[in-house]
Amino acid sequence: MTVTKQAFSLNFSLLSKFINEEEKNKYTNIISMIHQEMHSPTSKDCDALGWVDLAIKQDQKEIEQMLSVANEIRTKSAVLIVIGIGGSYLGAKAVQDALTPYFSKKSGETEVIYAGQNMSGAYINQLLQYVEDREVYVNVISKSGTTLEPAISFRVIKSYMEKRYGDEIKNRIILTTDPKNGLLRKLAQEEGYRSFEVPAEVGGRFSVLTPVGLFPLAAGGIDIQALLDGAKQATNDLMFSNYKENEAYEYALSRYLLEKKGYIIEIMASFEPSLRNVFEWWKQLFGESEGKDEKGIFPVSVTYTTDLHSIGQYIQAGKRQIFETILHVRNQQEDCTIQLMENNFDQLNFLEDKTFHDINTIAKNSSILAHYDGGVPVIQVEIDKLDEYHLGYLLYFFEKACAMSAYLSGVNPFDQPGVESYKNNIFALLNKPGYESLKEELEERLTEIFD
């Protein structure tokens, strides 16, 4: 079955020998019931479902405020440092990298760079050295303000900004945080920083279409209104409760049925390197939403044709527990054509007048056939072109599909209880007050392991 729209299409035809319509039809009523629950104002998860119609209900006044501050940054600053981790940076970086030229020498453009997504002392030191002779603004993103990686990076960068800019720091640091609660909200109130709100009912990995993603993207010159327009269209297109009319639900159902048959690893692939960080965002979205109670498909990503020369052999002939979702861009705005050469030194004159995109598309089709023949189920997702509108559509599609997929598996898409385990261990071993008893237990266990 192929579902096609002008902007977006999915092809499920290469799943027919792995799952059939009869199997899928058994879930028609279940999916409809989940859909009704997701869209109900009295849903048990209503406090986490604000993203469902976010693009449609987006406050235009808030958009104008973000654009105003973003324009100020683009006028006055060479660099915006965005501090965040997980959903607080992956969405913005995904869109930014997808739409930014691979190599750019443009002067006068504000560069968006990231901190707080790791705990490398070398990274933070080199970042501060990099911006030393450039004008800087900072956007720190965290609902609670207590997540360790961005918190320690903000502490260091805030100190740097205070020394460099003095009282002007109030204009140069913008907070994106919870509307009412958390350390950053308190800081904004006490020290007078400007701030944007993360809607209380939108979790981090679903927040790319809130100020979490929109504000840094606007500062980087991305057309956030077009991004939202694409998401609005996807919201309308994906409102149907029947999976046969809703590509997001058919994708979710196909994944679920493949997992039941032992295909527990999904490889998200593209032949366009600029989509690499879209896949990093996708991995967090699905991995953190589904990976609970010893359930869930393990999300990994590759960039072809590069990775066909590294792990392509395993994909072709390794354990048959993988399936592949290939994201393809139909039309490229920029391309390169192969020219005829008189001496034909490389014996490639047969490629005359073909473009790189032509060859890439043939490589994509060839790989799909080879992997399918090797026993790999393949789903193809296509967008018409790589721009803000189509990325906005794609982001919402994956969000809607992810929620349905998790619900089908019987897990809550919006919590992440497993993440708290390692965080508690870190706080205990770093002597955070209140973790003393856990620290004693962990030190005993570490002694047994390492001594």
> In terms of Cα–Cα distance, which of 126, 413, 408, 74 is closest to 250?
408
Structure tokens at 345: 């030194």
Which tokens hold the place of 135?
């004008």
111 catalytically annotated: no
**SS3 readout for 382-421:** EEEECCHHHHHHHHHHHHHHHHHHHHHHCCCCCCCHHHHH
Q: d(Cα 152, Cα 208) in Å, to the nearest integer?
A: 23
Angle CA(296)–CA(300)–CA(304) in degrees, nearest 5? Answer: 150
Name the token pair of 118.
């790791």
Buried b (16+ CB within 10 A) or exposed e, 94-118: bbbbbbbeeeeeeeeebbbebbbbe
Residue 268: what are its φ and ψ, rounded to 5°?
Answer: -90, 120
Catalytic status, residue 149 = no
Q: Provide Rg for the chain, Cα atoms.
A: 23
Is 402 in contact with 285 (CB distance < 8 Å)? yes
HSE of 128 in the Cβ direction (CA atoms, 13 Å)?
A: 17
State the catalytic residue, choosing from 288, 290, 324, 388: 288
In this structure, are residues 230 and 390 in contact, taking their beta carbons and an 8 Å threshold? Answer: yes
| Catalytic position from the list 57, 76, 385, 423 | 423
Strand 322-331 versus strand 378-385 pairing type: parallel
Where would I find the H helices in 39-147? 54-57, 60-76, 90-99, 121-130
Catalytic residues: 288, 423
